[in-house]
Structure 1
Amino acid sequence: MTEQDFIPELYSKSLESGSISWESPSNIALVKYWGKKENQMPQNPSISFTLDNCKTITTLDFVKKKNEEDGFSFDVYLDGEKKEDFKPKIETFFKRIEVYVPFLKDYHFVIETSNTFPHSSGIASSASGMSALAMCLMSIEKQLNSKMDGDYLNKKASFLARLGSGSACRSIEGDLIVWGYHNDIEGSSDLFGVKYPYEVHENFKNYQDTILLVDKGEKQVSSTVGHNLMHHHPFASQRFAQANENLTKLIQIFKSGDVYAFIEIVESEALTLHAMMMTSLPYFILMKPNTLEIINKIWEFRQDTGLPVSFTLDAGANVHVLYPEKDAKPILEFIKNELVAYCQNGHYICDKIGFGAKQL
């Protein structure tokens, strides 16, 4: 598919007003995307677990505008509080998608949103937020064009979400989503996320993700700034090649169920992501001392018990502790007894693999 496939023809129906609600989850990348080209295209492919409990709930109310005023008209609320500081990001998003969603200027929108996790804390709130908003917009388009099928709706929602936040395109569906063209993955595309199309061993079904909130404050560096630092990064080309290789290796790993080979790739990917930030100009260290304490404790516990517990990180200090469901009991005991002490105010979130956005 190309971008042209997402430009609609004339709509067969019209709508005066309405209200639509969707919830959409965050996701955690196993092979990381870091660095993007123009139009929110990824420099390398990525693959992620869709989460279940960490999600954004968005209600979109819309009323047809009475006058012919040009421009977008909308208000944004987070947890019932009007958020003027969210408006520029949504305005940018609307400008990027207007050609694909031509009804945007016909309505006044009220966007009411809430997260089940702390905003801007290194859990991808932009991924869940933009994907939920994209699904609301696609629900309106489906009402204007009743012939649209579900597969096209999901692809276009992923395509739109990507234009708001790159990783948001991986939140529309689940449980394993690939974004970015890869030679060995049929149907993969830079334009939208696709469900991982090959065999996945039982070991990786219903994988658990306990998120340790080491630092719940605002992110030290925005994702946009971080991605842009890859343009002149001395190790960028090697990194993009490495991500492609790791995704190739995961195909066999997912098939065989080899959790230890999985751990090696996932942890290496997390540390590489942070290494890229440490070696860019300007440079950043986004881990905190407690992040390192947790990582060392996980390594020690894994060595002592042989249990397949591992970690991954996003562009922040929080630690995602990943493990198979069958080993959840002893690993959760370990997390509560040994790791929670390193979390801010002892806060952590128990999550697991989920299956994408749901209409409410």
Structure 2
Amino acid sequence: MFLDTDFIPSKYTQTVENGNFLWTAPSNIALVKYWGKKENQIPANPSVSFTLNNCKTITKLAFEKKNISTQLNETGSEFSFDLLFEGKPKEDFKPKINKFFERIAVYLPFLKDYHFTIDTENTFPHSSGIASSASGMAALAMNLMSLEKALNPSMTDDYFYQKASLLARLGSGSACRSVKGQVVVWGSQANIKGSSDLYGVEYPYVIHDTFKDFQDTILLVDKGEKQVSSTLGHDLMHDHPYAERRFAQAHENLDKLISIFENGDLEEFIKVVESEALTLHAMMMTSMPYFILMKPNTLQIINAIWKFREATKIPVCFTLDAGANVHVLYPNVVKENVLQFIKDELVGYCQNAQYLCDQIGNGAIQV
């Protein structure tokens, strides 16, 4: 297990003048939710997620050595980069990248020596209500680590992936769960060896075959901007009246999942996952200021899923992120029945009848 200081390099053995890398990184869906954080993007409680496969960000990083490393760019920043989204300049996102570079500069001292061109696109529709910060920051972190590996070729794979996850976390907390593995744990948990607040780790224990090809169909209920950002939502946990009990509950639910993952108990899995989703939104409704991110159609979908499950005994369940969209989770063996149910009964609750079909994936891939 690495410590924070292990990721600060002493010196590089190689020099690289220019080049480019291309990585894809997927989104992920948390089963045990992270809500509330401490300084430096440290989670207030551990979380575990399924890595997705189809909803991903594709990012190309081109880089060229600058003549003078200390020169400031026109905005007064020490970092020099152009940012393109789907091939077009994306100025409004540059401050977020600049802040990310400021946070990670201690771990990647070469950042000030290069001019970067970051060209990024998503496989899911823009403004589809799918959080792209997790996949986007993970893809960027993988590219930056590829450059560091070129500067230090003796780097081990373990170090490469764990440092990539640490960097991604500093861009967007949940991004650290999009780097490597089908099931990823982030946050220190006594019963999960190797787990850390600093980076995500592949779930280290037995996973029943039932979970290895799990499906996630994402129902796009509301594609607009969220009225409350996740950053603000996390901050509202600092003096939340139920925060401590919530953090304890997350640890308890993660412990429950250890045996559930091993024995494939879908009934218990459903209880944990749905209760986690509703607890997340309960914390939003009971913070000060309070807010509701679910929409009427979110509730219609939840009730329809409960009714269908009760009538058919098909093990389908829902989870929610900090938004109105519904992730419908189910094992691959019932895919046909569930997709038919979605088309027959749930599509009408989606904005423009839109939904995305995804499934469990393996993490970031170099192209």
State the Cα distance separating 1:103 from its structure 2 match: 0.3
Q: Is the Cα–Cα contact under 8 Å of residues 123 and 314 in structure 1 kept in the other structure?
A: no
**Is residue 260 of structure 2 the alignment partner of residue 260 of structure 1?**
no
- Give the structure 2 partner of residue 51 of structure 1: 52
| 1:203 positional shift | 1.2
RMSD: 0.9
Please name the residue that 2:120 is paired with.
Answer: 113
Asked whether the equivalents of residues 27 and 124 of structure 1 are also in contact (C-alpha less than 8 Å), the reply is no
Q: Counterpart in 1 of 2:325?
A: 318
Contact kept, 8 Å, 1:54 with 1:115, in 2: the verdict is: yes
Deviation of 1:256 (Å)? 1.1
Tell me the TM-score normalized by structure 2.
Answer: 0.97
* Identical-residue share of aligned pairs (%): 68
Q: Report the counterpart of residue 160 of structure 1 in structure 2.
A: 167
Q: Does residue 90 of structure 2 align to residue 92 of structure 1?
A: no
Tell me which amino acid in the other structure corresponds to 1:109. Answer: F
What is the Cα deviation at residue 124 of structure 1? 2.4
Instruction: After superposition, give the CA deviation of every residue in 1:8-60 in whole Å (9 maximum; x if it has no partner).
Output: 12100111111111000000000000000001000000000000000000001
1:32 to 2:39 alignment = no
Return the alpha-carbon distance in structure 2 between the equivalents of residues 298 and 23 of structure 1. Answer: 32
Structure 2 contact 68–113 (Cα < 8 Å) conserved: no
1:141 aligns with 2:142: no
Query: Post-superposition shift, 1:119?
Result: 4.1
* Residue 75 (structure 2) aligns with: none
Matched residue type, 2:233: G
Q: Deviations over 1:277-315 (max 9, x none)?
A: 011111110001110000000000000000000000000
Between the aligned partners of 2:295 and 2:181, the Cα distance in structure 1 is 31
Q: TM-score scaled by structure 1?
A: 0.99
SS class of match (2:109): coil
* Aligned partners of 2:83 and 2:91 also within 8 Å: yes
Aligned residues: 360
- Rounded to whole Å, the distance in 1 between the matches of 2:93 and 2:298 is 29
- Tell me, in whole angstroms, the C-alpha distance in 2 between the residues paired with 1:225 and 1:118: 25
* Cα distance in structure 1, aligned partners of 2:88 and 2:291: 32
Q: CA 1:204–1:284 in structure 2 vs 1: closer, same or farther (change >3 Å)? A: same
SS of 1:103's partner is helix
Equivalent of 1:358 in 356, 362, 365? 365
- Please, which runs of 5 or more residues in structure 1 have no aligned partner? none
Question: C-alpha separation between the residues in 2 aligned to 1:174 and 1:67?
Answer: 39
Structure 1 runs (4+) greater than 6 angstroms displaced: none
Q: 1:120 to 1:226 in 2, by over 3 A?
A: farther
Residues 183-202 of structure 1: matches in 2 within 5 Å? 183-202=190-209
Could you tell me which runs of 5 or more consecutive residues in structure 2 were left unpaired when the two chains were aligned. Answer: 73-77
1:203 corresponding residue in structure 2: 210
Indicate which of 295, 298, 309 corresponds to 2:305.
Answer: 298
1:223 Cα deviation after fit = 1.0
